[in-house]
Amino acid sequence: MPSVGIVVGDGKKEYPGKLTLYVTVTCIVAAMGGLIFGYDIGISGGVTTMDSFQQKFFPSVYEKQKKDHVSNQYCRFDSVSLTLFTSSLYLAALCSSIVASYVTRKFGRKISMLLGGVLFCTGALLNGFATAVWMLIVGRLLLGFGIGFTNQSVPLYLSEMAPYKFRGALNIGFQLSITIGILIANVLNFFFSKISGWGWRLSLGGAVVPALIITVGSLILPDTPNSMIERGQFKLAETKLRKIRGVDDVDDEINDLIVASEASKLVEHPWRNLLQRKYSNRPHLTMAILIPAFQQLTGINVIMFYAPVLFQTIGFGSDAALISAVVTGLVNVGATVVSIYGVDKWGRRFLFLEGGFQMLISQVAVAAAIGAKFGVDGNPGVLPKLYAIVVVLFICIYVAAFAWSWGPLGWLVPSEIFPLEIRSAAQSITVSMNMIFTFLIAQVFLMMLCHLKFGLFIFFAFFVVVMSMFVYFFLPETRGVPIEEMKQVWRSHWYWSKFVNA
């Protein structure tokens, strides 16, 4: 295989190119694909606790909650049908990301984004106008199908478009959109919940706005040169790459893309290949599975889905609880910006390890604080305000840590480590794993809280230790390495080299 590109001192290649306005705007537009995912994460929990929503679609849940006076706070909120409603979306997303892998490879990244936007838009309309449970469910499935498509294609798109030195920052635009989506949704829920009777329609129907943004956005976006070459459009890819990089001399990069694409053409079955050691994909499959699983095992979605419930439990009134959820939402956005700043300077590993340490400390602190007041019987008596504030503070420290480590890196790292021939298939494994684990955690959290009590936070802390050790020993640094050159990183790794050099 010919080796092209400029080889610098340490054996890594460098391509000419700058951070052009064109690529920046393109990546910002594409990154907005994260808004729909974030909006849904932020909106569902609030809507399912709205009285009018429950009365209309889940009357038995409503009756039960009004009647029950549970003294054990750990077991207060527990309703399978509501959580199933919320998490059904994740199962749909899982299925569609597999279809998306085919569409993204055969028809390009932007078609997948477009499909994602259209499906999500249809789901949002169906939900906003829902008059029967079936409309809610079908709507939710459509939202899930949409998310499967966008989460599969957007991170890949960003990693391929970005000049490699800024890949981290541009890719994290996706996570930034997720966090902005969550925040906007939390704020909207706060106001819409005050409109009695039909506020929930605005919350659910409001999802058409982010959906339209990515639908229209995908129509005007160019496809990535990598994908054009993968589909045989060589001339077009070259012209585009010049515009994207803002330099005339893109020969080296184009040649490397062609080489990568030729290797890719030899692979007829990307899925089967993923399992083969000879294609040196052992580390890739491991990462495609473990990174998203670990991202969810940080326990972040316990906070994202249930923060208002949790804050009510520790003694806030319902307005104060919602406001605290907005505060954690702001921290989430702010800390993501920190990671945009640092990811290409300090590297991925530093952020992973620092974030892990910080999450561990705050989880242990939250467990201790809740354990001290709620004990094992979950009956805290009257809780002082200061207590609730301290708990919220530690939760903010935890959210900040996630937001500059596993949050963005959980999407960035998988999207930049796969070789072209398996990129699309491997990315859909990443999305599927993320969705399975989100589903599982959303589904069993309330039950786990009831049984593990404050130990639940220790449960997640344990996984944070495991994932940090995994990063320390097994995840090589990928900062500043061109995406089609990533194989070098595995070849020089103390453990993975045994497989990829074989």
Q: Which residues make up the interface to ligand BGC (CB under 6 A)?
A: 41, 175, 178-179, 182, 295, 300-301, 304, 332, 407, 410-411, 434, 438
Q: Given the complex with ligand BGC, which of 226 and 301 has the nearer CB atom?
A: 301
Q: Given the complex with ligand BGC, which of 57 and 174 has the nearer CB atom?
A: 174
Least distance from ligand BGC to the Cβ atom of residue 494, Å: 29
- Burial label for 239, CB within 10 Å (0-12, 13-18, 19+), is middle
Least distance from ligand BGC to the Cβ atom of residue 126, Å: 23
What does the alpha-carbon distance between residue 431 and residue 427 come to, in Å, rounded to a whole number?
6
Least distance from ligand BGC to the Cβ atom of residue 411, Å: 6
* 3-state SS class at 197: coil
Q: Given the complex with ligand BGC, which of 44 and 175 has the nearer CB atom?
A: 175
Contact 401, 362 (CB under 8 A): yes
What does the alpha-carbon distance between residue 269 and residue 275 come to, in Å, rounded to a whole number?
10
Q: Given the complex with ligand BGC, which of 178 and 241 has the nearer CB atom?
A: 178
Q: Given the complex with ligand BGC, which of 250 and 300 has the nearer CB atom?
A: 300
Least distance from ligand BGC to the Cβ atom of residue 305, Å: 8
Q: Given the complex with ligand BGC, which of 182 and 351 has the nearer CB atom?
A: 182
Least distance from ligand BGC to the Cβ atom of residue 449, Å: 18
Contact 428, 101 (CB under 8 A): yes
Least distance from ligand BGC to the Cβ atom of residue 48, Å: 16
What does the alpha-carbon distance between residue 463 and residue 472 come to, in Å, rounded to a whole number?
14
Residue 483 tokens, joined: 């995406």
- Amino acid residing at 233: Q
Q: Given the complex with ligand BGC, which of 183 and 250 has the nearer CB atom?
A: 183
Q: Given the complex with ligand BGC, which of 65 and 301 has the nearer CB atom?
A: 301
What does the alpha-carbon distance between residue 115 and residue 407 come to, in Å, rounded to a whole number?
25
Residues near 30 by beta carbon (within 8 Å), at least 6 away in sequence:
113, 154, 157, 158, 161, 173, 174, 217, 218, 221
Least distance from ligand BGC to the Cβ atom of residue 179, Å: 5
Of residues 304, 349, 352, the one with CA closest to residue 181: 304
Q: Helix/strand/coil (H, E, C) string of 300-323? A: HHHHHHHHHHHHHHCCCCHHHHHH
The beta strands (E) that lie in 122-192 are given as: none
Least distance from ligand BGC to the Cβ atom of residue 406, Å: 8
